[in-house]
Amino acid sequence: MDYEVFKQTLKDQGLTLKAFSELSGVQYSTCAKWGKAGRPVSDWVESWLSLYIENKECKELKQLLKSAVCPEVS
């Protein structure tokens, strides 16, 4: 994943670099170095973000279904 795609994906998901760092357990200073002086984004980040996005969508869908099926519970 190239750095510009990484930054845009974070933005699209409403994540800051600091929030990504905290969620993923990677030191902020490490994340902040990506994209600088030719340093690539770590290989695992793309799959991590894909799973993060999928999980977020599943949670949203679960909440919608819960609201539709059991409105008194949500």
Is residue 55 one of the residues assigned to a domain? yes
Would you say 35 and 7 are in contact if contact means Cβ atoms under 8 Å apart? yes
pLDDT at residue 31 is higher than 90: yes
Place of tokens 């994906």: 9
Would you state the pLDDT for residue 71? 76
Give the amino acid at 40: P
Is residue 51 one of the residues assigned to a domain? yes
Q: Indicate left, alpha or beta for 51 from its phi (over 0: left) and psi (-120 to 50: alpha).
A: alpha
pLDDT at residue 72 is higher than 70: yes
Is residue 54 one of the residues assigned to a domain? yes
Structural domain range at position 64? 3-69
Place of tokens 């799959």: 47
- Average per-residue pLDDT in the chain? 94
Is residue 39 one of the residues assigned to a domain? yes
Total domains in the fold of the chain: 1
Would you state the pLDDT for residue 70? 84
Is residue 14 one of the residues assigned to a domain? yes
Q: What's the number of CA atoms in the CB half-sphere (13 Å) around residue 69?
A: 6
Would you state the pLDDT for residue 74? 54
Is residue 59 one of the residues assigned to a domain? yes
Is residue 74 one of the residues assigned to a domain? no
pLDDT category of residue 63 using cuts at 50, 70 and 90: very high
Instruction: Round to whole Å and give the CA distance between 35 and 15.
Output: 17
